[in-house]
Structures are given as structure tokens and as C-alpha cells.
Amino acid sequence: MKKDLYINGEWLKTDHYTELRAPYDHRVIAEIASASVADVHHAIASADRATKVMRKMPAHQRAQILENLAILLREKRDEAATILATEAAKPLTTAYAEVDRTIQTYKFAAEEAKRIHGETLPMDAAPGGEGRVAYMVREPLGVIGAITPFNFPMNLVAHKVGPAIAAGNTVVLKPASQTPLSSLFLAELLAEAGLPAGALNVVTGSGRTVGDQLVTDPRIKMITFTGSPGVGTSIRQKAGLKRVTLELGSNSAVIVDNGVPLDKVIPRCVGGAFSFQGQVCISLQRIYVHEALYEEFVERFVEQTNALKVGDPLDKETFVSALISQGDVQRSLDWIAEAVGQGAVVAAGGTAEGNVLHPTVILNVPVDVKVSCQEVFAPIVLINKIASVEEGIELVNDSRFGLQAGIYTENVHKALDAADELHVGGVMINDIPTFRVDHMPYGGVKDSGMGREGVRFAVEEMTELKLVVFNRN
């Protein structure tokens, strides 16, 4: 199956195609177009022309297109989930959950399209402002360059394309090389939903070639990037005065205080650590448990980890499947070995079969080994002992990242202290850091990025505030 580029509402051939293989069994699932420099220029020019159409399109029509898209996705839910399971090795149950969230994200975007507004400003608050009426409006930026990662190929694309269209922008989308099929599927659906030609263009191909051009082309007014901190930093350095939103990685942590109900907490933590093989930006990587609960917590956590079904993503029972690449399996094994070399103890997993790394639990992990201080992005979690919530907060904050953090405690004072002191974009009280729904503001501090997604907040990033002052004197 050959997949072409989607530019200006048409499927276009290019000179080079690369094989796309399924991460689980390595079978070839498609041949994907590799965009040339000229192709990217063509896509940007189309998006630039389409800004005139999108800027004038009334809000109700933008909302209707997004609403139509949500309806089409619901009708094609099975097809969408199978694409995700195949190209990303996303276990089917998780894949269906992503499709459902994608539908919600587009519905939120449809609703948001109708309430993008400014405010009025009392000009007479300043001497000399009397007799003037001032109001602000939010205008679309123009062409948005969207660069997306492999781990949520539908919903993280929705978090960029949905708000961009809601606000009247146009998009050139560069999906991750491992997961282009979801974006090409979206292009088909959006055309059917009534989006004008050129308003969404999908250019597949190498991150460096396509990405660099998007980041440096002056016709692109904003780059919205989700991916690794390394690539995010290089984008920021090259983007000049373009607006940039960066949603990057983390080594998210939870604190478990004495006296919390472990029956509820442990299954939630197991899910947060191993869902989609830990390849989630807010995957639970570090668990800090009060010493009074530690032994019991570890024993029950390990038991539940060993019960997780590992295998084929297309099997509905599977909870943990293949990592995205063989290189990531080897890296994970190396990082586990490094931790063990520094005195850590593997309590579950620690081995791989093919591209599947068994869900791994590590204890007594020093703070400076990679499974603790880097983003592990694999089914590996550490459980360390703490003497107090205060110690837990210090450990959570001892990180270059700061996306979300969680704390389980029955003590309201400790909960509110943690909310004050945790240096992250979002604090989850009595939940894991992995909690996210699609309308909440979402994004990080420190090396976890800048700017916020969550539809309303992304719309703010993707619009420009304009002031109008009417002099009645």
C-alpha cells in the first residue's frame, strides 16, 4: 500500500518512498512518501494561500467541520484503532481509548471555535484615556507548523489540528515517521468533513528535512511541537521570532503517603507505569512510598505487575506490547544494567523478548542513574522509600523535568503543601501524574517544555491579541 503526500486537498506522488514496518512483528505495512524540499515548499505555499479562506470562514462553519470530523471518527472507530495498534504497537484496548479521546478533543475544538473572543478595556482608568472605547479580539496567526511524536498519533495530532482549525488557522502537519498512517487517515476524514483544500497539508518524511524547513520558513507563524527535549531545544534555537509551543518529556513521579488505601492506589500506579509500554510523556516513572507502607506496597505492586498480559497489540487481552524500536529495547536494558551496577534491585521484569520488554520494577534506585534522572520511555518504574512527604517533594523536584506530579495523602495540609511546592505544570492530588483529560491545561516547566495545550489553551497560543481603540472625543 503506497501512501502519498496530502497537499492542497490532493494526494501527490514524490520521488522517494520508505517502508513502514509494524514494531511488533516487523511486517511491512505501507510505503510512505518521503517529502522533498520542493514538496514541503509546495505544502507551505498551499497552507499560506488557504489562510485567506480560513480567516474569513465563520465560527459556526469551522465548528461544523470539526463536529463532522468527530462524527466520522466515531463511525470509523474500529479502523482508527486498528491503524494505531498496527503502526504504533498500541494494544487494542489502549488504541480504542485513544480514538475515543481524539473524538472528544475534536468535539472540544468544535465547541471552542464558537467562543473565541476578546474583552473590553476601561480606557478611562488612565488619565488621557477618557472618551475612548477599547476592545480586543483574537485573530488567527496564519500557517501553523505541527510536528508530532509516535506515541499518541491521533490524539496529539488532534491537540494541534483541532485548535488550529477552531481558531481559523491552516496547518502543515509533519507526523512521526513511525506513525504517519493516523495523520493520513485524518486528512481523508477532514476532506470528507468539509475542510477547504490547503487548510490541512500532511508532509511525511524525515524529521530533519521536513522539520527544519517548517521551523525556518517565514510563512509559518508558529511551530507547535510535541516530542523529545533534544529536538524541542533545537527547534527553539532555530525558530527565531516564530511563536513556539514545546510539549516535551518527563520522568514523572508520585508520592504515596502513609495511611492511603492501597487497594485503590496500587492498580492505578501499575496502570500509570505500564500503559502503552510506558511510552507516555506523563508515564509514572518514579514512585516514592512512605516507609510504613513500603514493604506491602512493593509486594502487591510486583504481584500485579507480573499478572499483566504481554504480547501482540492486536490481542484484546494484551496490556504490554512491543517498544517502538529495537534500539529502545537495548537502551532500556542498558539503563536497567546501569542501575543494578549502582546497587538497585530488579523486583520484576528486567528482560526482553524480541521488541517486548517485560514490565520492570526496580527498587533502591540512586537518584543519579538514568532510570531515575532521565526520561525512560519504557515499561520501567522505580519504587523508593521515603520517611516523609517533605522528602518526597524534594525528590520529585530534583529533576530537570516538570510536567505533572501526583501525591496520594489523606492529610489536606500535606496535599496543599505539595500543590504549592511541586515544581511542575500540573499537580494531581490523590491521583497519578498520568491523569489527563483533553480540555485541561497541559504542559510543563523546566525541560518539559513551554506553552500549554488543552483545547482552549492551545487556541490562546494559536491566536494573536489585537487591540482596537475608538476615539469618541
> Per CB under 6 A, does 226 bind ligand NAP?
yes
Here the cell at position 246 is 514545546
Report the site for ligand NAP in 152-171 (rule: CB under 6 A). 152, 156
In the structure grid, which three cell numbers stand for residue 305, read together?
505487575
Pairing of strands 445-446, 243-247: unpaired
- The least distance separating ligand NAP from the CB of residue 342, rounded to whole angstroms, comes to 23
168 or 379: CB nearest ligand NAP: 379
- Structural element, H or E, at residue 314: none
Q: Is-contact 394 257, C-beta < 8 A?
A: no
Give the three-state DSSP class for 182. Answer: helix
C-beta of 216 vs 342, nearer to ligand NAP: 216
269 catalytic? Reply is no
**Residue (363 or 381) nearer to ligand NAP, CB:** 381
Which member of 67, 87, 98, 247 is catalytic? 247
Q: What is the spatial distance between Cα 366 and Cα 384, in angstroms, rounded to a whole number?
A: 9
The yes or no reply on residue 228 touching ligand NAP (CB under 6 A) is yes
Any contact of residue 272 with ligand NAP (CB under 6 A)? Answer: no
Binding mask 235-264 for ligand NAP (x = CB under 6 A): x-----------xxx---------------
In the chain, the amino acid numbered 12 is L
Q: State the Cα angle at 10 between 7 and 16, rounded to 5°.
A: 65
95 binds ligand NAP (CB under 6 A): no
Minimum CB distance to ligand NAP, residue 451 (Å): 10
Residue 409 near residue 430 (C-beta atoms within 8 A):
yes
Question: Does 425 sit near ligand NAP (CB under 6 A)?
Answer: no
C-alpha cell at 345: 534491585
Which of the following is catalytic: 87, 98, 281, 461? 281
Interface segment toward ligand NAP; rule CB under 6 A; list 68-76, 98-106, 204-212, 285-293 = 204-212
Give the residues across from 30 on adjacent strands.
Answer: 20
Answer positive or negative: Cα dihedral of 438, 441, 444, 450.
Answer: positive
* Residue with cell string 537495548: 330
- Return the C-alpha cell found at 67: 463536529
Does residue 344 bind ligand NAP (CB under 6 A)?
A: no
Nearer to ligand NAP, 104 or 304 (CB): 104
149 binds ligand NAP (CB under 6 A): yes
The count of other CB atoms within 10 Å of the CB of residue 420 is 9
Among 208, 264, 309, 316, binds ligand NAP (CB under 6 A): 208
Nearer to ligand NAP, 61 or 209 (CB): 209
Applying CB under 6 A, does 145 fall inside the site for ligand NAP? no
Q: Is 415 in the site for ligand NAP (CB under 6 A)?
A: no
**Number of residues counted as binding ligand NAP (CB under 6 A):** 30
- SS3 string, 370-432, reads HHHHCCCCCCEEEEEEECCHHHHHHHHHCCCEECEEEEECCCHHHHHHHHHHCCCCEEEECCC
Q: Is residue 84 a contact partner of residue 324, using CB atoms and an 8 Å limit?
A: no
What single-letter DSSP state applies at residue 136?
E
Footprint (CB under 6 A) of ligand NAP, residues 353-412: 375, 377, 403
Q: How far apart are CA 335 and CA 302, in angstroms?
A: 20
Q: Which of 376, 326, 357 is nearest to 21 (CA)?
A: 326
Q: Shortest distance, CB of residue 250 to ligand NAP, whole angstroms?
A: 6
Scanning residues 449 to 468, which ones bind ligand NAP (CB under 6 A)?
Answer: 449
Question: Which of 155, 154, 183, 169 lies closest to 222 in space, CA to CA?
Answer: 169
Among 66, 84, 147, 356, binds ligand NAP (CB under 6 A): 147
**Per rule CB under 6 A, is residue 206 in the interface with ligand NAP?**
yes
Judged by CB under 6 A, the residue of 142, 168, 227, 359 near ligand NAP is 227
Residue 390: active-site member: no
**Whether the Cβ atoms of residue 389 and residue 369 lie closer than 8 Å to each other:** no
Q: Which residue number, 163 or 168, has a Cβ lying nearer to ligand NAP?
A: 163
Residues near ligand NAP, by CB under 6 A: 147-152, 156, 174-177, 206-208, 211-212, 226-228, 231, 234-235, 247-249, 281, 375, 377, 403, 449
As annotated, the active-site residues are 247, 281
